[in-house]
């Protein structure tokens, strides 16, 4: 990832619509988009032509579109492609925030382009955009340890201790967003990938919390 990487014009948070999914691990991308809008006084509004909820904010002297697809995770690409094509935003100028099973809770990684890694939202984006050149903010949610349990795992709420470290990862990622908008990808990568992640606290037998 070079310092001359394309500047994001659109940030997409991936998740599933509806209150029953709002607090689930698969909606970590929605959490990041919501927090970014909140920090900058933006408000998401339904937009039928983009099959999602959109918001536009000013950050670091630039306009940035925010999008939360309302098409469910495995059809996310329909919404992203509609907005990107209308506003002539190339795939390389799209930044996608999503949950990642391969990273421990609280870990955050930046990635420029690449495959979908089994993530259905990313898979559909690649199909609809006809490109895998979009950048990603990978928000670690951990893995249940058994591939047969993945679906139930991502559609469940994390324990409060895990949610706390995921929320901290989101705040840390958003602090680096101005650097991304300035094209300073390597500096943002260095800051985020080098951050210390405290392991989530686990319940002790007496009901208190203790580190694993």
Closest C-alpha among 87, 56, 58, 175 to residue 67: 56
Query: How many CB atoms are closer than 10 A to CB 63?
Result: 9
- First CA to last CA distance, the chain: 34
| Helix boundaries (H) for 65-184 | 76-86, 120-129, 150-154, 160-175, 177-181
Q: Can you name the residues that pair with 139 across neighbouring β-strands?
A: 99, 108
Cβ partners under 8 Å of residue 154, min gap 6: 24, 25, 26, 99, 101, 141
Q: Are strands 94-100 and 135-140 parallel, antiparallel or unpaired?
A: parallel
In angstroms, the CA 145 to CA 85 distance is: 39
Of these residues, 26, 51, 119, 128, which one is catalytic? 26
Catalytic residue at 26?
yes
Which tokens in the block code for residue 209?
């919390």
Q: Looking at the annotation, which residues are catalytic?
A: 26
């Amino acid at each position: 990832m070079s310092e001359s990487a394309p500047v994001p014009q659109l940030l997409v948070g991936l998740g599933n619509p509806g209150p029953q999914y709002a607090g689930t691990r698969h909606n970590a991308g929605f959490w990041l988009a919501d927090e970014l809008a909140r920090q900058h006084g933006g408000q998401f509004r339904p937009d039928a032509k983009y099959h999602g909820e959109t918001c536009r904010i000013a950050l670091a002297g630039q306009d940035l579109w925010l999008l939360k697809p309302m098409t469910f995770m495995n059809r996310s690409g329909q919404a992203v492609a509609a907005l990107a094509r209308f506003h002539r935003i190339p795939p390389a100028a799209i930044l996608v925030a999503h949950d990642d099973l391969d990273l421990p809770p609280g870990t955050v990684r930046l990635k420029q382009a690449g495959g979908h890694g089994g993530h259905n939202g990313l898979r559909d984006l690649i199909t609809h955009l006809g490109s895998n050149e979009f950048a990603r903010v990978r928000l670690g949610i951990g893995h249940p340890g058994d591939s047969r349990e993945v679906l139930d795992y991502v559609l469940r709420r994390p324990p409060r201790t895990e949610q706390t470290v995921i929320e901290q990862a989101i705040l840390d990622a958003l602090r680096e967003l101005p650097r991304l908008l300035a094209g300073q990808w390597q500096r943002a990568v260095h800051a985020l990938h080098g951050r210390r992640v405290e392991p989530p606290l686990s319940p002790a037998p007496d009901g208190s919390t203790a580190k694993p």
